[in-house]
Amino acid sequence: MMITGLVLLVVIGGASLLAPFLSPFDPLEVRLNNRFAPPFQRPHLLGTDALGRDVLSRLLYGGRLSLLLAVLSTLITLSVGMLLGMLAGYFGGWVDGVVSFVVNTFLGIPDVVFTLALLGVLRPGFGTLLLALNAGSWVGLARVARGEVLFLRESGFVEGARAMGAGAWYCLLKHILPNLFPTMGVLGSLRFGGFVLELAALSYLGIGVQPPFPDWAVMLNDARPYLFTHPHLFIFPALIITVVILGANCLGEGLRDALDVRFQRGIGES
């Protein structure tokens, strides 16, 4: 399951990365004499849309911005959440007090409301999207990381290192950080899927990635009126978004199962 997820993500990520070399046509080139070409025919393998643009090329380009945003957001969320969680958990005292206060405050604001409010207040753009996506998402990770560190701090190997004269930062980086990676890997990959999902919804509402830039969610929106007459315009982008998120979920849950095996027994066996 983990491998499947990873493969799905790598294939789609790689294809998006290599879009300029792989795509047969310009994704923005409008050809009104070639509208609604059916799929699975040469030269437009996946057909063309209402403006005669090549669907395959648009699909290849369509993930670039969302995937880049999702990857960056995941990295930011993981780093911020882990750093603050580690500080709060390890040092305790007033550091913990301040971090916990901030975490509780942000936990108190529904994520969707906060993201949308930020998008409305700030100037639209790449940075704003990045900020809005991350604003509320790091707190959950910080809370988990804090809990883990509280536990790790008391464990034998950390105490041993401290007894041998290791400083706080050495303990944190050398002994605690590596032990956080499994949990953070699971949460990070699930979070990545969440980001792709959120971005798609935002773009669909017209407040995420802006047209005419090719984007999967924007393509879905464009395809709405032709759902019955030309279903391929809807099905391909829908499929690819689903596969990306499926890949992230598979990776996350696969990792979780591989690292923390819980016993499961059905009532029929008991």
Partner 1 sequence: MRHYDWLQRFLQMVLTLLGITVVAFLLREAIPGDPVEILLGKEGLFQPSPEEVRLFRTRFGLDRPLFVQYFRWLGDVLRGDLGRSFVTKRPVAQEIRERLPATLLLALAGFSFAVLIGLLGGVFLAFWSGSIVDHLVRVVTLLFRSMPTFFVAVVLITLLGERWRVFPTSGMGSWRHLVLPAVVSGSGFGILIMRLLRTNLLQVLGNDYILAARARGLSAWKVLLKHAFPNGFVSVLTMFGLYLGGILGGSPVVETIFAWPGAGRLLVQAIYGRDFPLLQAFVLVFGVTYVAMQMLVDVCYFFLNPQVRPGKRIV
Q: Shortest Cβ distance from residue 96 to partner 1 (Å)?
A: 13
Question: Cβ closer to partner 1: 172 or 194?
Answer: 194
Question: Cβ closer to partner 1: 102 or 161?
Answer: 102
Q: Shortest Cβ distance from residue 140 to partner 1 (Å)?
A: 11
Question: Cβ closer to partner 1: 147 or 185?
Answer: 147
Q: Shortest Cβ distance from residue 208 to partner 1 (Å)?
A: 11
Q: Shortest Cβ distance from residue 41 to partner 1 (Å)?
A: 25
Q: Is the peptide bond before 43 cis (omega within 30 degrees of 0)?
A: yes
Question: Cβ closer to partner 1: 6 or 109?
Answer: 109
- Burial of 264 per CB tally in 10 Å (0-12, 13-18, 19+): exposed
Question: Cβ closer to partner 1: 75 or 201?
Answer: 201
Q: Shortest Cβ distance from residue 197 to partner 1 (Å)?
A: 6
**Where along the sequence are the contacts to partner 1 (CB under 8 A)?**
101-102, 104-114, 116-123, 193, 197, 200-201, 204-207, 217, 220, 224, 227-228, 234, 238, 241-243, 245-246, 249-250, 262-270
Q: Shortest Cβ distance from residue 38 to partner 1 (Å)?
A: 20
Question: Cβ closer to partner 1: 23 or 208?
Answer: 208
